Amino acid sequence: MCACVSEDMVVWKLPWTSALGALLLVLAVLCQDPESADEEPSPTSQTVKCPLHCKCPSDSTVNCASAELTEFPSGLSDGIQMLSLENNMIREITVEHVSHLYLLETLNLQNNGLSSDGKLEHPLERQHTELTSAPKALPHSLVNADFSSNELTRVYPYTFGYKPKLRSVYLHNNKLTDSGLPEHMFNTSNSLELLTMSSNLLKEVPRNLPSSLHRLHLKNNKLKRLPAGAFKNLSDLRELHLQDNQLNSQDIEQGAFSDLSSLEYLDLSNNNLSVVPSGLPKTLLLLHLERNCIQSIPADSLNLLRNLEYLLIHNNKLRSRTIHPAAFQGLKKLHTLHMYNNLLERVPRGMPRRAKTLMLLHNSISEIGRNDLALLHTLTELNLSYNRLSSGRLHPEAFRKLRRLQTLDLSGNNLDTLPVGLPRSLQVLEVKNNHLRSIPAGALTGMDQLTRLVLSNNQLKTMTCGTTDCLVLLSERSGHHFTVPPCPALKGTGHRFSILRYVLYLSLDELMRTVWSFCVRSVTQKDQRCC
């Protein structure tokens, strides 16, 4: 989160601890999100037929949430449409309980004690407080069913099948296995749009899902393989969540994704992939592949994804030479690429040309050649922090084409001098945690847009002021004060820096090392800005 600082908040000539304290306090107040209270109105009237401990705000709504029920409420009127039973200890629901509820549309049984066999096998199980059985049948009228956070191990053909209006089914956080599901779990329930089965024990993608499905959540199961046709008929699916499983590259068959002709969002993160899968849906906008063991990107795995906008492939084992130079060719919409925490030694060749955000931090990049970045004309944010760049191996013209670059992070490298030839469009420049000893003349010249410059944790000792291209003000360490000394360079007119008014210089050096932090803000913007 950014700290927000407003123009009037510059504090100086105060002991730095209390100034900082005051500043933080103001920030805390200013930056607080307004709290959004989202409470249900409490019901005012109760109808005669309302079950004990429940609330019935209207004839069609029965709310028995958190009512300490151990049994399905009796005496429900036939006409109810909405029944909330979440957070109780109901362990069993029989066909008799629900068969007369012929108008029931919404049933919430989240977090109960339902068991799959529907029987109490052992008296001791009475103490068990989790719902472990899906009802054998539910009303034909059902639209929404929430059975999440129970201990369900079985679902029956008539639990969710034969419900033409059924739209959403929540089954996450249960104990469902492949064998606990009927072969046709949603037979003729052809309006189903949302199915959540995350955090169960599935090894296979459930079969015969209705083609009406828009969103399918299978996160955190035991999926190891995706056979061809795993998503058969799901041509309307937009979102598919497969993260936190055990998928192996060699067990994703050619054609596994081929029916997903509308898929826009695919999450395959935190699996066991060693290579980017081929045959991904061409309609994808966002692809999560992070936290796998991906070592390579072949030429033809991504370049048909013409709509792809976000590719998240951080925390893998990519090396520059194992990314095919044509891997990103044709990805004209790709604007955000996260490749941090890999093993890259250089900026890979053939980076997507329309990229706006490139996160390459935490790799092993030791060199940037003259043309490594030369095709990235649209780049606005480049994060190269925590690599192995040294000043001698950063080509002075490497950044020459990045005319739209606004944010550059070179922190945590081995630079001993601030690079020259950085884009004049920069608004944020961070070069902390390096070995900077000097800021060469001209290095910051013309950076009219710069609002944040962070040079802390370097070995900068002296800096001069008064030339046209130096932002930095000399100041004694004045007993831990915030200091805003007068700056001739900034007062002068005709200089490119004349729009800058304050340069904050804060010394926190207790250990004979000089630590600098600068915050440069523009007077033209009186509103709050991040600093």
Binding residues for ligand NAG (CB under 6 A):
184, 187-188, 208, 211, 232-233, 246, 248, 272, 274, 361, 383, 385, 407, 409, 428, 430
Compare residues 112 and 249 and give the one whose CB is closer to ligand NAG.
Answer: 249
In the complex with ligand NAG, the residue whose CB is nearer, 115 or 341, is: 341
Smaller CB distance to ligand NAG: residue 130 or 193?
193
For 163-200, give one letter per residue: b (16+ CB within 10 A) or e. Answer: beebbbbbbbbbbbbeebbbeebbbebebbbbbbbbbb
Distance between CA 69 and CA 73 in Å, rounded?
Answer: 8
Rounded to whole angstroms, the Cα distance separating 464 from 378 reads: 34
CB-based contact 358:314 (threshold 8 Å) = no
Closest CA to 484 of 12, 45, 151, 114: 12
Q: Rounded to an integer, what distance in angstroms lies between the CA atom of residue 122 and that of residue 118?
A: 12
Cβ 66 to ligand NAG, closest distance in Å? 37
DSSP string of 237-251, one letter each residue? --EEE--SS--BGGG
- Cβ atoms of 146 and 165 within 8 Å: the answer is no
Q: Minimum CB separation from ligand NAG for residue 13, in Å?
A: 30
What does the longest C-alpha to C-alpha distance in the chain come to? 89
Separation of alpha carbons 130 and 92, rounded Å: 10
Nearer to ligand NAG, 248 or 417 (CB): 248
Residues in the chain: 531
Written as one string, the DSSP assignment of 118-174 is: -S--SGGGGG--SEE---SB--TT--EEE--SS------HHHHSS-TT--EEE--SS
Q: Report, in Å, the least distance between residue 426 CB and ligand NAG.
A: 10
Name the residue nearer to ligand NAG (CB basis): 130 or 236: 236
Q: How far is the CB of 493 from ligand NAG (least distance, A)?
A: 31
d(CA 139, CA 83): 12
Per the CB < 8 A criterion, the answer to whether 54 and 64 are in contact is yes
Q: How far apart are CA 80 and CA 127, in angstroms?
A: 30
H runs (alpha helix) in 226-365: none
Query: Closest CB to ligand NAG among 203 and 353?
Result: 203
Where does residue 123 rank: exposed (0-12), middle (13-18), buried (19+ CB within 10 A)? exposed
In this structure, the strands spanning 407-409 and 381-383 are parallel
For residue 249, the minimal CB distance to ligand NAG (Å) is 6
User: Of the two residues 135 and 412, which places its CB atom closer to ligand NAG in the complex?
Assistant: 412
At its nearest, how many Å lie between ligand NAG and the CB of residue 338? 9
Please state the closest distance from residue 379 (CB atom) to ligand NAG, in A: 13
Q: CB of residue 276 vs ligand NAG: minimum separation in angstroms?
A: 13
Determine the Cα angle at 329 with ends 426 and 304, to 5°: 125
Q: In the complex, what is the shortest distance from the CB of residue 16 to ligand NAG, in angstroms, rounded to a whole number? A: 23
Which residue, 262 or 407, has its beta carbon nearer to ligand NAG?
Answer: 407
Do residues 162 and 185 make contact, with C-beta atoms less than 8 angstroms apart?
no
Closer of 67 and 256 to ligand NAG (Cβ): 256
For ligand NAG, give the closer residue by CB, 246 or 258: 246
